[in-house]
Structure 1
Amino acid sequence: MARRALHLNLDDAWRDEPLGLPVVDARAWGPRLRFSAPPRLVAEFYRAHETNLASPFLLYGSGDFHYLTALRLRRVGGPIVLVSFDNHPDWDVRPPRWCCGGWVNRALEFSHVKHVAVWGCGNFECWWPHQIFGNRRAERESRLEVHPWADDRPKKDRQRRGAILRDDWREHFERFVSDLRGANVYVTIDLDCLRGEEAVTNWEGGRFTIADLLWAMGKLRSVAQIVAGDICGAFSEPVYARWKQRFASEMDHPKLTRPDSLRTREINQAAFEALWPPLAQ
């Protein structure tokens, strides 16, 4: 029987059993699953951890494992709406099939996932020409909506469907939430959606603040039921099992400077302690 809340430890991104969560040691899987994995291996992992993945609320490590959210959705009763707070749209239609950069497409394959909304995309993937690799078909069909920050974009780009600004994103979010009355919602938070001073991750930081996410979850709970969710994105030292996996991941990751390990854990622990209770209440 699945526990209501669980820490699935893949990479030691979190220590000391945050907020007293029961912990499952899955570190033997971490190097094999990080960034991407072949379907056979993903299926093997799912069989081994199906019960753990079915916990309604899950904490796991680096955003390199974010595609595990798609596995979790198999066991969430539908119909549901998936709301993702992420600095990346994770909508890339190119191979590999199981990868942190394309997992939203796996979520869209489930008939009980009625809609996916990604908020806070801050990188280049939602803009021309890079958006040609995204799932534009799902966006045109209104099954998927992405909300990239447009503050630093040319004025014409601010007309892009879903574009948001720091000054108006809450208005957009309130309109989005108004259509969710009575809905069951799955919320996934990748900490890279937060500003660099509020989260240390393996990716470039976003523009949300912790206060923004607390406000957004409050708005969601005011009209909908958050039936399940997860938090990932905390920094961990990358370890890989396959050379192609390492090569692709290192090509894709930004080269960043980070605080020392103690400060990194302090920052991420503070983010977790603020965000977890309103998510998993």
Structure 2
Amino acid sequence: MIVTDFTGIYARQPFTAEATVVPCADLTGTDCYCDDEVAAELARRLAPHPLRAVHFLDSGNYHYLTKLWTDRIDRPFDLVLFDRHTDMQPPAFGDLLSCGSWVRRMLDRNPLLRRVCVAGAPADREAAAEYPGRVLFCGGTPDDPAWRHFAGAEDPTPLYVSVDKDVLAPEWAATNWDQGTTTLPELCDMLRSLLLRRTVLGADVCGEYAPEEAIADERCVARNDRANAALYELLRTAL
């Protein structure tokens, strides 16, 4: 388990007791966006740690770290993203890497990324048209037909799996973004269906609650700790 610590929130979650922590709180210019210089420093800090692990990224504001982890993959792969948002927006500020545009950056610049499957977000028809055959949108339940087709296909292409807990309904996780309707048991069922059939090169989880808000409600911290522990125990079996 590799934890990137931007906010200090994981220190309040017991599931990280044996985690390897990558300190990042000293860096500026990381919240939601980062420029090339900061991205290079983050990549330098991640470099000593294995890709084949479960990485916890902190708040969804730092979901762009998935792009940095997957830059290390040396073979064709698919990205499976469980998220309430597609993270395929055009960059809002020049060409800065952001938590809302990192998937688009990967599609544009990583020739080894074969396909992206997004589960739990509203379909983005413009993105599907812009990247024909490379983007698939599924519902956030194991019974969704598109998901069943994707997860049940015999495909040797390995996966990188990324989970933003904002895909979950509020009773299962607390995040600082609007949330979906998937339950934690449903998400775990969806993950199991992948892990049975596909090789996983690495995985990450984000979607922690903003610390200043979590201080006011320890129940939110406990809820995320339970969700993170369940996701870790499931994902680690494939790595």
Range of TM-score over shorter length: 0.7 to 0.9
CA distance in 2, matches of 1:224, 1:88: 24
TM-superposed deviation, 1:259? 8.8
- Show CA shifts across 1:1-44 (max 9, x none): xxxx3112111221256152222222112x42110122232223
For structure 2, the 5+ residue unaligned runs are none
Q: Does 1:9 align with 2:2?
A: no
User: Which amino acid is the alignment partner of residue 8 of structure 1?
Assistant: T
Which residue of structure 2 aligns with residue 253 of structure 1? none
Equivalent in 266, 269, 274 of residue 222 of structure 2: 266
| Mapped contact 1:6–1:55 kept (Cα < 8 A) | no
1:1-281 paired onto structure 2 within 5 Å = 5-15=1-11, 16=14, 18-29=16-27, 31-52=28-49, 54=51, 56-96=53-93, 97-108=96-107, 109-121=109-121, 126=123, 134=127, 136-138=129-131, 141-147=132-138, 164=139, 168-169=143-144, 171-237=145-211, 260-281=216-237
| Mapped contact 2:4–2:24 kept (Cα < 8 A) | yes
Identity %: 24
| Mapped contact 1:117–1:145 kept (Cα < 8 A) | yes
| Mapped contact 1:198–1:210 kept (Cα < 8 A) | yes
Which residue of structure 2 aligns with residue 152 of structure 1? none
Runs of 4+ in structure 1 off by over 4 angstroms are 165-168
Q: Secondary structure at the match of 1:213?
A: helix
CA distance in 1, matches of 2:221, 2:48: 28
Change in CA separation of 1:53 and 1:225 when aligned onto 2, cut-off 3 Å? closer
Q: Secondary structure at the match of 1:115?
A: strand
Q: Secondary structure at the match of 1:268?
A: helix
| Mapped contact 2:22–2:45 kept (Cα < 8 A) | no
| Mapped contact 2:51–2:201 kept (Cα < 8 A) | no
CA distance in 1, matches of 2:161, 2:17: 19
| Mapped contact 2:173–2:223 kept (Cα < 8 A) | yes
TM-superposed deviation, 1:90? 0.4
Change in CA separation of 1:11 and 1:136 when aligned onto 2, cut-off 3 Å? farther
The TM-score normalised by the length of structure 2 is 0.87
User: Which amino acid is the alignment partner of residue 84 of structure 2?
Assistant: N
User: Which amino acid is the alignment partner of residue 116 of structure 2?
Assistant: V
The TM-score normalised by the length of structure 1 is 0.75
Larger Rg belongs to? 1
CA distance in 2, matches of 1:146, 1:227: 21
For structure 1, the 5+ residue unaligned runs are 148-163, 239-256
TM-superposed deviation, 1:228? 0.6
CA distance in 2, matches of 1:258, 1:45: 26
TM-superposed deviation, 1:229? 0.5
| Mapped contact 1:53–1:72 kept (Cα < 8 A) | no
TM-superposed deviation, 1:89? 0.4
- Show CA shifts across 1:94-146 (max 9, x none): 33330101110122221111111111015xxx46xxx65x56401xx111123
